[in-house]
Amino acid sequence: MYPLILGSSSVYRVELLRKLNLPFRTVSPNIDEAPLQNEVPADLVKRLAEQKAIAIALSHPKALIIGSDQVAVLHGDILGKPGTHEAATEQLQAASGQTVLFLTGLALFNSETQRMQSLVEPFEVTFKNLSDKQIQFYLEKEEPYQCAGSFKSEGLGISLFDKLQGNDPNSLIGLPLIELISLLNNEGLDVLQPSRTS
């Protein structure tokens, strides 16, 4: 069996992948994540997920490498990681009462065979009408400044929403496990088999 590598430094993606009870290691990819000119959000996350996996493959020639990237989209515009309290406040004010589309790019690259499987998983989140006081309370408690869209759905962020709509709630946190299981199975790795091969 090929060793499994998660190309991410995200503690949230690590926790998600642990659900599958597979041995894996993490390697942080070092790539330029800037969007290309006129690149639409879905193309951006798919490209970055693939590039992360390929970047790691250069030093891991016989492995299955998972790459993932996520953006939040509001009215066609990408909501990135806010970085600051002020930017997070602006993002949540803009998202209040609106539906935000989260797009997660997922790639699985076999660095020996050079087989790339990739996809984009959508997930919609409808925000409650939030008061400035609620936004400030949330930001002070969670400090989600490195999270796309300024929230952590695995924490208090769930209180910001009226409705969630999508195939896999794990994709909202950054790793669509249902689709990943299918991609792994295509590589002969069955998470439900004791031998781990299909």
pTM over 0.85: yes
Res. 179 pLDDT band, cuts 50 70 90: very high
- Is 69 known to be catalytic? yes
CA 64 to chain centre: 18
Percent of the chain topping pLDDT 90:
82
Selection from 155, 167, 164, 176 nearest residue 127 by Cα: 164
Catalytic residue among 69, 77, 132, 162: 69
CA atoms within 13 A on the CB side of 95: 31
For residues 150 and 30, the answer to whether their CB atoms sit within 8 Å is no
d(CA 149, CA 152): 9
For residues 49 and 107, the answer to whether their CB atoms sit within 8 Å is yes
Q: C-alpha dihedral over 66, 82, 12, 117, to 10 degrees?
A: -20
The pair of structure tokens assigned to 45 is 């996350």
For residues 101 and 95, the answer to whether their CB atoms sit within 8 Å is no
pLDDT at res. 147: 85
Instruction: Give the 3-state secondary structure of residue 6.
Output: strand
Could you tell me the fold of the domain covering 4-186?
Answer: Maf protein (3.90.950)
List pLDDT tens digits, range 2-29: 999 999 988 889 999 999 999 999 999 9
Domain ranges within the chain, ordered by starting residue: 4-186
Average pLDDT, the chain: 93
List pLDDT tens digits, range 122-165: 999 999 999 999 999 999 999 999 888 898 877 888 899 999 99
